[in-house]
Amino acid sequence: MRIAVLALALLLAVGGLGPWADRAAAAPTPAQVVRALERSPVYIDPALDGQISPTAAGRIEKAVERSGEDVKVALVEAPDGSGSAYARNRSFVTALRSRLSFDGILVTVDDRYIRVDERRDGRQIRRSEVSDAESLANYADEGDQSFDRTLLERVERFLANLRQTPQRLAARVAADEARSAAQRKATPRRETRGTDDGGGGLLPVLVGLVVVGLVVAVVLVRRRRRGALAADGPLPVVPARVFEHARAAERADLHEDADGELLALATLLDEGSVPRDERAQDAYQRALDAYTAARRRARDGAPTVDLVGVLVLVDRARGDLAAAAAIEGGGRPAAWTPLCTFHPLHGRSARTVRWERGLRVPACAACAADLRAGRDPDALRDGDRPYFEGDTVWAKTGYGAFGDDLVERVSRGE
């Protein structure tokens, strides 16, 4: 009996009390992390022991040495606090940088994704090859499903990517985007599904190969002429005509609208440079994250609610880019008007209205009038019901109307 009691106590201590002990343990402070990074290029929060073993930590150190870059890896979950996980991560990185005398690449963690911050001469920069290495490690489906990767796999892929040439990395990004586009075109859609003539399997492959070649060429040309923002600057938001066309479009046309806006945003990002002002850098980073989230959703089966979400995310990214340009130029960002919560393709909201459960949400003039008259607004449909009655990330966030974590949740794959 005593042996059984002791065995049970041991099991509870190892299996049951372990998580409680982890939660009770104080998270490492930025000062503690910096002291550790001064001794070693890799620091892993003990709370992540279940994800990354001491053996794996040694592998990361060797991968850092082989990368040929000045890299420090600080895998620490940002402490709980106000704001989104992205905002907490940026605050933690800022705290590390303020104490860390280091010019190079700093790799941190935001949920299960890696985040990369690079500084040279004390100034934040964003080299295209480093951005591509990060994007491929986090999001590219190259022989597996990127969402299923562990944090360790993302770190190791990023460090391995740094050893490749910028041209090779750009080609892989272009190939991943083209592969996703070809898969979408090759997947029958419920609205336009037809019979198989027996010869349709080869065409998507040929189209995909052609698209890969064209996109690779375009990406490489853009890399060579990368410079400052265009003289006219980024458009502040997605033009109203795009929403008007998208609302009237069939689903196939809506795909084209979403892909076209993604390409236009990619061009703005590719031809622009990272601002110097820290507040502008934050806005610029938000734009990059929104673009990455939009690109991820565009490849996930893309029902109508997702395609609308792509346009919403692109609109948000353009707003952040415009804000970054205004701050960098010494001005104040223009006020950003959110889209209609009930149907984002209605365009800009006209006012904030009180809705269910005491929520106050932005609405276009027509939807606001419907609510005042006691009518149901003309809401975007998800199948046979309003989208906000579904179980999608768009329903849970109101396309961003219910909080500021839309980009973060889409990036997580919700």
User: For residue 45, is it within any domain?
Assistant: yes
User: Which pLDDT score is estimated for 10?
Assistant: 47
- Has residue 193 got a pLDDT over 70? no
Q: Are residues 142 and 279 in the same domain?
A: no
In this prediction, residues 129-157 reach a mean pLDDT of 86
Q: Give the pLDDT mean for 256-270.
A: 83
DSSP letters spanning 82-105? SS-HHHHHHHHHHHHHHH----SE
Give the confidence band of 24 by pLDDT, cuts at 50, 70, 90: very low
- The CATH number linked to 148 is 3.10.310
Same domain, 40 and 123: yes
- pLDDT bin (cut points 50, 70, 90) of residue 2 is low
pLDDT score at 175:
82
| pLDDT tens readout for residues 214-231 | 554 544 444 443 333 333
* 224 vs 394 pLDDT, higher one: 394
Residue 2 domain-assigned? no
Range in 37-51, 112-126, 195-209 with the lowest mean pLDDT: 195-209
% residues pLDDT > 90 (the chain): 28
Residues 155, 253 within the same domain:
no
Q: Is 124 helix (H, G, I), strand (E, B) or coil?
A: strand
Examine the domain organization and report whether 252 and 401 are in the same domain: yes
Residue at 179 is within a domain: no
How many Å apart are CA 223 and CA 220, to the nearest integer? Answer: 5
Chain-centre distance for alpha carbon 239:
22
Q: Residue 195: inside a domain, yes or no?
A: no
pLDDT in tens, 329-387: 899 888 888 899 999 989 889 999 999 867 899 999 999 999 999 899 999 999 889 99
Q: What is the pLDDT of residues 100-113, one digit of tens each?
A: 889 899 999 887 78
Q: Examine the domain organization and report whether 155 and 261 are in the same domain.
A: no
Residues 272 and 400 in one domain: yes
CA 76 and chain centroid, separation: 19
Inform me whether the pLDDT recorded for 22 exceeds 50. no
Choose the final residue of a domain: 124, 140, 161.
Answer: 161
Same domain membership, residue 243 and residue 150: no
411 and 310 inside one domain: yes
382 vs 379: CA distance, rounded Å: 9
Residue 303: its pLDDT value, please?
87
Among 129, 161, 193, the domain-final residue is: 161
Same domain, 393 and 244: yes
Give yes or no: residues 257 and 394 share one domain.
yes
270 and 143 assigned to the same domain = no
d(CA 165, CA 191) in angstroms, rounded, equals 43
Position 409 pLDDT exceeds 80: yes
pLDDT, average across residues 235-256: 62
Its domain, for residue 301, covers 231-414
137 in helix, strand or coil? helix
Residues in the chain: 414
Residue 166 lies in a domain: no
- Is residue 59 pLDDT above 80, yes or no? yes
Round to whole Å and give the CA distance between 160 and 168. Answer: 12
φ, ψ (nearest 5 deg) of residue 74: -120, 95
Give the per-residue pLDDT at 83. 53
> Which of 107, 129, 161 is the last residue in one of the domains?
161
358 and 235 in one domain? Answer: yes
DSSP class of 356 = G
Domains contained in the chain, number: 2
| 139 located within any domain | yes
Query: How many whole angstroms separate alpha carbon 411 and alpha carbon 393?
Result: 11
Query: Strand pairing of 360-363 and 381-382?
Result: unpaired
Is 246 within the bounds of a domain?
yes
The pTM score is 0.52
Confirm whether 247 is domain-assigned. yes
